[in-house]
Amino acid sequence: MAQSEYAAKVPAADQTLRILRFLSTQRGPVPAALIAHTLGIPRSSIYHLLAVLQEHGFVLHLPEARRYGLGVAAFELSSGFSHQEPMSRIGQPLLAGLVDRIGESGHLAVLHGRDVLYIAEERAPRRPRLVTDVGIRLPGHLTASGRAMLATLPAAQLRALYPDNAAFVDLNGRPPHTYAELKAVLQKVNEDGYATEDGEVTDRFASVAVSVRDHVGWPAAGIAITFPRESIGPERWPELAAAVAEVAAELSRRIRGTGR
């Protein structure tokens, strides 16, 4: 049976998936009328489908703006590809090459709600074991890889992840503790072109990270290099970030099917 025949037999499922796919290509929340017009779905059906998606966390409704965007559950679902084998298989050789060139440990992580989930790690020779073993989760707002990915999200989606101060886990008293502080951190990430953390996760260790973007610009993963703070001063971090950015760009090309 052809795919179109399946869709005809289960129109609600077809329409739901088309709504999610459409929202995933937008850079921010959009009106329900635009969704209905673009997809050719009656407005009455659109509102019912959006209500169900909102109830399950896949869609975020902004009542003041009368717009809809992807919810937290959609981000968790979309990261499924990233933290399964395909992303780690594609990324591991690139990460290993980066670590070989730089001589410091590196890791690959994906967003999972407000956390980052580490899916690949390469430890440099004579460097200590880090807390970023594969399978470990850490608060995204405190890690360089998490900040790199969060900085690429539209404001509405970022706000959905951090609705109040209770969303900010405190590991060692370091900021950010509020949404305003997080926005300031992420603004600097966007200005610099890379993210950093300096002792927020492990004392005396720092990291620089760059986001890996998918075909529509969303954060598919984050690549970070972690090193003893005393071995590489802040004046060298931009140089380090440039090397990470090259690998992030290559991984982005490969997951989009356009890699060399």
Q: Using one digit for the tens of pLDDT, what is the confidence trace for 202-243?
A: 888 999 999 999 877 888 899 999 999 888 999 999 999 999
Position 136 scores a pLDDT of 85
Position 259 scores a pLDDT of 42
Same domain, 49 and 167: no
Same domain, 128 and 229: yes
CA distances from 23 to 62, 74, 80, 239 (A): 14, 10, 18, 36
Q: Is residue 185 part of a domain?
A: yes
Domain count, the chain: 2
Same domain, 180 and 246: yes
User: Which residues, other chains included, contact 118 with Cβ-Cβ below 8 Å and sequence gap of 6+?
Assistant: 107, 108, 109, 132, 133, 134, 135, 136, 137, 138
CATH number reported for the structural domain that contains residue 17 in this entry: 1.10.10.10
Tell me how far apart the alpha carbons of residues 41 and 22 are, in angstroms, rounded to a whole number.
12
Using 50, 70 and 90 to split pLDDT, how confident is the model at 195? very high
Same domain, 64 and 89: no
Same domain, 237 and 159: yes
Q: Is residue 150 part of a domain?
A: yes
Using 50, 70 and 90 to split pLDDT, how confident is the model at 2? very low
Same domain, 125 and 239: yes
Beta 219-228 vs 205-213: how paired, if at all?
antiparallel
Using 50, 70 and 90 to split pLDDT, how confident is the model at 164? very high
Same domain, 18 and 143: no
What proportions of the chain, in percent to the nearest 5, are helix, strand and coil? 50, 20, 30
Which residue range is the domain that position 49 belongs to? 3-70
Position 173 scores a pLDDT of 85
**Mean pLDDT across the chain:** 87
Boundary of a domain, candidates 45, 70, 95: 70
CATH number reported for the structural domain that contains residue 246 in this entry: 3.30.450.40
User: Which residues, other chains included, contact 119 with Cβ-Cβ below 8 Å and sequence gap of 6+?
Assistant: 82, 83, 87, 88, 91, 108, 109, 110, 134, 221
Same domain, 82 and 122: yes
Q: Is residue 97 part of a domain?
A: yes
- Which amino acid, 121? E
Same domain, 21 and 47: yes
CA dihedral over 87, 92, 97, 99, signed as positive or negative: positive
Same domain, 82 and 211: yes
Same domain, 16 and 120: no
Between 86-95, 122-131, 162-171, the lowest mean confidence (pLDDT) is in: 122-131
Boundary of a domain, candidates 12, 46, 70: 70
Boundary of a domain, candidates 11, 35, 70: 70
Same domain, 43 and 90: no
Q: Is residue 260 part of a domain?
A: no
